Chain A
Amino acid sequence: MPLLEVRDLTMRFGGLVANDSVSLHVDADEIVGLIGPNGAGKTTLFSCISGTLRATNGQVLLEGQDVVGQTPEEICWRGIARTFQIVRTFREMTVLENVMVGALLRASGTSQARVDAEEVLELTGLAHKRHVLGAGLTIAERKRVELARALATRPKLLMLDEVMAGLNPRERQEAIDLVRTAHARGIAILMVEHVMEVIMPISDRVVVLTNGRKLLEGRPEAVSRNEEVIKAYLGERYRAVIAEPPAC
């Protein structure tokens, strides 16, 4: 039985279909990449899985149990943690406190949570920032705090929404290492990335979404050679070029 199985998930906003009968699964020891052009419905799918949105149709099975209709907090308790594409760091709390909020989910009290959080801070390389307020962090650091916070809830599945976006190459490499570290601890990972180059090297399997539908899935090498994928992305790049303002 896969850790996470999404069956025919459909999400409609009024007339707009953001996800159309999407199915995918994540096994307990996998890193699965979810890619697709802008507006493909990746973040919506994330929100449906994590309970922020309630799917219109379909099932989200976590270890065989349907979690559609459960609140985000229940789903987190069951073992799915997520980060947000647009970071949601607690600005008036320190890095340590941010992570402690996550750790408190499974800790008996604050002292236990502090110990757990410190451990996660070490792991994620944030220990030296522990007393800095969320508002005083760079974007890269905030993304790292989000990841650390999610890790602190001791998830079975970690869902990362564009944690690489906006990072420079060095930060990006650090983030990739971090994902690998988490994976090495036995956490399955489902990650959304907009940029294909980032996700290919670390994914065991890649799922491609376009226009709310699953285009295909497979091993990274196979997917990156697939013509439809190339077309979808080329189209996207083409549009991106047009959308850019004239050079000044």
Chain B
Amino acid sequence: MTTVDQPSDSTSMPAGPGLDPTALPPERSRGRAASASRLAVGAIAALVLLGLPLVLEAQRLVHPLHILIMICLYATLAQAWNILGGYAGQISLGNAVFFGVGAYTSTLLMTRIGLSPWLGILVGMFVAVLVSLAIGYPCFRLGGHYFAIATIAVGEIVQTLFINWREVGGASGIHLPLLPEAFVNFQFHSSKLPYYYIALAMAAIAFGCAFLVERSRLGYYFRAIKGDPLAARSLGVKITRYKLYAIAISAALTAMAGTLYAQYILVIDPESVLPLSLSVLICLVAVLGGIGSIWGPLLGALVLIPLSEGTRVYLAQSGGGGRAIDLMVYGALIVLVAVFQPGGLVAISRRFRGRG
């Protein structure tokens, strides 16, 4: 499920890569043509990402634009999770804590001292990093399921604290005051387009981070820690320190998205920004897409978010009902992927590419 893209070593491929299931596909041998076509695909993708919303906007298709924003938001969150859970193998079911910290920090700074949410983002990220270190430092001593359950416990504790914390609105949360539409206020009322571009930029930042992580010492160490912590230590990897790096990066990116959410929805409360279900959804997106690979989170978000938003609208129009059909499909998809293709959608698409 892991690939390496090292353009430098195009000379050396195992003899029969197609026959050996563990050998990597012969991507490098395609050489320049491949990189040119990749460039073309990238250019088209960029054009669609930047241009499509303009078309939607012109057609006054508000809902599709909302879905695109949500895709970017969840792609960001899932990528942040992927860095911690996918690369470093630390299964967090408490990432909503960082999301909530980001949302609450920037919102409180705005409502209390009038700080621009743009600065609030930075403060929120910083606070989230501190929180993540406080969680990670003790909890990283726990392995496997114990760590996952500890993050659930921490998440539940934090949510309860916020529900009972009157000064920050308690269970009813905070309504953000409507400010004049302006970039500095991070509020746009006449169109969702600015939110889309901001969300897209955030997703790009998250993907850039994952890209850098994957190619740097961090990426190698993260994967070594995931693979075998004891072996990693005996090779000189300071595993606690690197796990803390992973959770800090994850927390910062998640908090960033938290501020976007607060500014976009303009209401935050513990039930919407801190629940376990959000933590779970974040990691479902990443896992469905395929963890430990850079495109997994995007693929996961592309599949799950339209599905969930689409069914929601469909059910609302058709008169309601259980309203949980999207989650039903999710659940079934997750089971199928886990059973038949543990590498996620990325692995499936890779298999098709390999054959084609």
- Give me the interface of A with B, judged by CB distance under 8 Å: 50, 52, 71-73, 76-77, 81-82, 84, 88-94, 96-97, 100-102, 104-105, 109-111, 113-114, 118, 127-136, 149-150, 153
Across the interface, name the chain A residue whose C-beta is closest to B6: A114
Given the known interface contacts A114-B6, A130-B12, the answer about A101 and B220 at a Cβ–Cβ threshold of 8 Å is yes
User: Secondary structure at chain B's binding surface: helix, strand, loop or mixed?
Assistant: loop
Minimal beta-carbon separation of B346 from chain A (angstroms)? 14
Inter-chain contacts of A127 with B (CB < 8 A) = 12
**Interface-side segment among B121-129, B140-148, B232-240, B277-285:** B232-240
Of the A-B pairs whose beta carbons lie under 8 Å apart in the complex, a sample of 21, sorted by A's number, is: A52-B233, A72-B230, A72-B233, A72-B234, A88-B230, A90-B223, A90-B224, A92-B1, A93-B224, A94-B4, A97-B4, A101-B232, A101-B235, A104-B217, A110-B216, A110-B217, A111-B8, A131-B23, A133-B2, A150-B235, A153-B236
Find out whether the CB atom of A91 lies under 8 angstroms from the CB atom of B23. no
State whether the Cβ of B20 lies closer than 8 Å to any Cβ in chain A. Answer: yes
The CA of A134 and the CA of B228, in the complex, are separated in Å by: 12
The CA of A90 and the CA of B23, in the complex, are separated in Å by: 15
Minimal beta-carbon separation of A184 from chain B (angstroms)? 23
Given the known interface contacts A93-B2, A93-B224, A109-B216, the answer about A132 and B22 at a Cβ–Cβ threshold of 8 Å is yes
State whether the Cβ of B215 lies closer than 8 Å to any Cβ in chain A. Answer: yes
Given the known interface contacts A96-B4, A114-B6, A131-B4, the answer about A153 and B235 at a Cβ–Cβ threshold of 8 Å is yes
Inter-chain contacts of B292 with A (CB < 8 A) = 92
Given the known interface contacts A73-B238, A93-B227, A110-B216, the answer about A135 and B22 at a Cβ–Cβ threshold of 8 Å is yes
The CA of A110 and the CA of B7, in the complex, are separated in Å by: 13
The CA of A81 and the CA of B226, in the complex, are separated in Å by: 20
The CA of A90 and the CA of B220, in the complex, are separated in Å by: 11
Interface string of B1-33 (1 = CB under 8 A from A): 110101011001111010011111000000000
Minimal beta-carbon separation of B111 from chain A (angstroms)? 44
State whether the Cβ of B231 lies closer than 8 Å to any Cβ in chain A. Answer: yes
The CA of A96 and the CA of B12, in the complex, are separated in Å by: 12
- Give me the interface of B with A, judged by CB distance under 8 Å: 1-2, 4, 6, 8-9, 12-15, 17, 20-24, 215-217, 220-221, 223-224, 226-228, 230-239, 292
The 3 closest A-B pairs by CB, nearest first: A136-B22, A90-B227, A88-B231
Inter-chain contacts of B232 with A (CB < 8 A) = 101
Find out whether the CB atom of A128 lies under 8 angstroms from the CB atom of B231. no
Across the interface, name the chain B residue whose C-beta is closest to A72: B233
The CA of A132 and the CA of B20, in the complex, are separated in Å by: 9
Minimal beta-carbon separation of A40 from chain B (angstroms)? 22
The CA of A150 and the CA of B22, in the complex, are separated in Å by: 23
The CA of A129 and the CA of B230, in the complex, are separated in Å by: 24
13 new A-B contacts at CB < 8 Å, known A52-B234, A131-B14: A88-B230, A89-B228, A90-B223, A90-B231, A97-B2, A97-B223, A101-B235, A104-B221, A110-B216, A113-B220, A131-B4, A131-B23, A132-B20
Across the interface, name the chain A residue whose C-beta is closest to B292: A92
Find out whether the CB atom of A97 lies under 8 angstroms from the CB atom of B236. no
The CA of A128 and the CA of B13, in the complex, are separated in Å by: 7
The CA of A109 and the CA of B220, in the complex, are separated in Å by: 11
Inter-chain contacts of B2 with A (CB < 8 A) = 92-94, 97, 133
Find out whether the CB atom of B235 lies under 8 angstroms from the CB atom of A102. yes
Minimal beta-carbon separation of A109 from chain B (angstroms)? 7
Find out whether the CB atom of A101 lies under 8 angstroms from the CB atom of B24. no
Inter-chain contacts of A84 with B (CB < 8 A) = 230-231, 234
Determine which residue in A52, A97, A100 has the highest number of CB atoms from chain B within 10 A of its CB, and name it: A97
Across the interface, name the chain A residue whose C-beta is closest to B12: A130
The CA of A149 and the CA of B230, in the complex, are separated in Å by: 14
Partner of B234, one of A50, A113, A131: A50
Inter-chain contacts of B4 with A (CB < 8 A) = 94, 96-97, 131
Inter-chain contacts of B12 with A (CB < 8 A) = 127-128, 130-131
